[in-house]
Amino acid sequence: MGGSIMKKYELTGDNNKDFIALTELLTQAEREESDNSSDIQSDCNKKLMSVLPNTDRDLIREKMFTSSLGANFLTDIILEYWLLVSDTEHTSSRQRTAKKKSWIDMFEDYEKFIEGLNLFDDESDTKRYCYFENEQEERLGRAEILREHPNAEIVRIAFPIGKVYFYHGGFLFEHGRNEEAKEKLLKAVKYQPGKSGIYYELAETYKRGESDMELFHKWTLAGYRTAWKPAQIARAYRDAAYYFSEMRQWQLAYDAIMISSRYQDDKEHINNELEYIRQYADIPLAELTPEEEARFCEATGMIRMNDE
């Protein structure tokens, strides 16, 4: 492709050749910080969407395992969509709903294509194909898999396929299609086990759907174990506070919301939660002393070590 990426790539009609060229150009554009690299990435992403369905399966598989395949491939397209449907000033509610529906259809078609390739036809509970965005996600994601499957073989892939299922699940959830959203988010967790945000969104489907608080808490804890940024950790404690409030375990709920404030100083949210807990608590609440926090950790297993 040469050293310069100023010229956009024109399709040749040879899908395999175009696929290789576009992925190489996309990777190069991602690494460079030229003024037009984002335009190059966007152009490559859109052309890849048309090339992929007729590209050789083995070639796609090789790229998924060995190259970046442009980690922004899906993100670019999804972001473009998200900005479109979020533009409340220029689009009506009916228009946004129609656009979301068309994009849900696009995701369904894309998933059928990916799944039809059987790229991971030898996967099982003991062989997992995973995408990790960084070293922290890989360390925590691997630990989460090995908790339940100590002998699992984890194969790192270079393509963020989990993002397809994550955003698809989110759109379905917005449309009230909770069970379908849950199915997609479970697949997203499978391919991106180190992404705490996916666990939290999956937990929401259990809270807002059949109101299964035990499964809500189970997936919240999985998000907690894979959290490494302060905002991610804070959300785990906030969601835990919600769970303990529902269980009428008021002291644990109070402790959790107080701990969350260490990681994200969201005064309005914290004050609202504290007001609710204090209003309905039928026991005197102890302040969060080191001794009380030790009791909280022992009761819940939510213990932070080596926070970044």
Which tokens in the block code for residue 266?
């969201």
Cβ-in-10-Å burial (0-12, 13-18, 19+) of 134 comes to exposed
pLDDT at residue 153, as a whole number: 93
Residue of 254 and 34 predicted with greater confidence:
254
Cβ-in-10-Å burial (0-12, 13-18, 19+) of 293 comes to middle
- Is the whole model's pTM more than 0.85, yes or no? no
**Nearest CA-CA partner of 131 in 216, 36, 195:** 195
Other Cβ atoms within 10 Å of 10 Cβ, number: 8
pLDDT at residue 3, as a whole number: 46
When pLDDT is averaged across residues 12-22 and rounded to a whole number, the result is: 92
Question: What's the CA gap between 94 and 75, in Å, rounded?
Answer: 25
Judged by average pLDDT, the poorest of 66-75, 201-210, 263-272 is 66-75
pLDDT at residue 16, as a whole number: 94
pLDDT at residue 60, as a whole number: 81
Other Cβ atoms within 10 Å of 130 Cβ, number: 20
Q: Kindly report the average pLDDT of the chain as a whole number.
A: 83
**Nearest CA-CA partner of 290 in 242, 258, 261:** 258
pLDDT at residue 67, as a whole number: 64
Judged by average pLDDT, the poorest of 28-42, 91-105, 127-141 is 91-105
Question: What's the CA gap between 5 and 74, in Å, rounded?
Answer: 21
State the residue for tokens 């979020």.
86
pLDDT exceeds cutoff 90 at 247? yes
When pLDDT is averaged across residues 44-62 and rounded to a whole number, the result is: 80
Residue of 169 and 123 predicted with greater confidence:
169
pLDDT exceeds cutoff 50 at 5? no
**Nearest CA-CA partner of 217 in 233, 198, 199, 229:** 199
In order, the DSSP letters of the chain are --S---SPPPP-S-HHHHHHHHHHHHHHHHH---TTHHHHHHHHHHHHHHHGGGS-HHHHHHHHHHS---THHHHHHHHHHHHHHH-TTTS-HHHHHHHHHHHHHHHHHHHHHHHHTTTTTT-BTTEEEE--SSHHHHHHHHHHHHHH-TT-EEEE-SS-HHHHHHHHHHHHHHTT-HHHHHHHHHHHHHH-TT-HHHHHHHHHHHHHSS--HHHHHHHHHHHHHT--SHHHHHHHHHHHHHHHHHTT-HHHHHHHHHHHHHH---HHHHHHHHHHHHHH--SPPPP--HHHHHHHHHHH-----S--
Which tokens in the block code for residue 80?
């473009």
pLDDT at residue 89, as a whole number: 60
Question: What's the CA gap between 142 and 160, in Å, rounded?
Answer: 16
Judged by average pLDDT, the poorest of 43-57, 82-96, 261-275 is 82-96
pLDDT at residue 172, as a whole number: 86
State the residue for tokens 């070590």.
305
Residue of 200 and 85 predicted with greater confidence:
200
Task: Provide φ and ψ at 115, rounded to 5°.
Answer: -65, -30
When pLDDT is averaged across residues 214-221 and rounded to a whole number, the result is: 97
When pLDDT is averaged across residues 160-177 and rounded to a whole number, the result is: 85
Residue 96 binned pLDDT confidence (cut-offs 50, 70, 90): low
Question: What's the CA gap between 200 and 197, in Å, rounded?
Answer: 5
Q: What is the dihedral of CA 138, 143, 144, 147, to 10 degrees?
A: 160
Strand-pair partners of 153: 127
pLDDT at residue 171, as a whole number: 82
pLDDT exceeds cutoff 60 at 111? yes
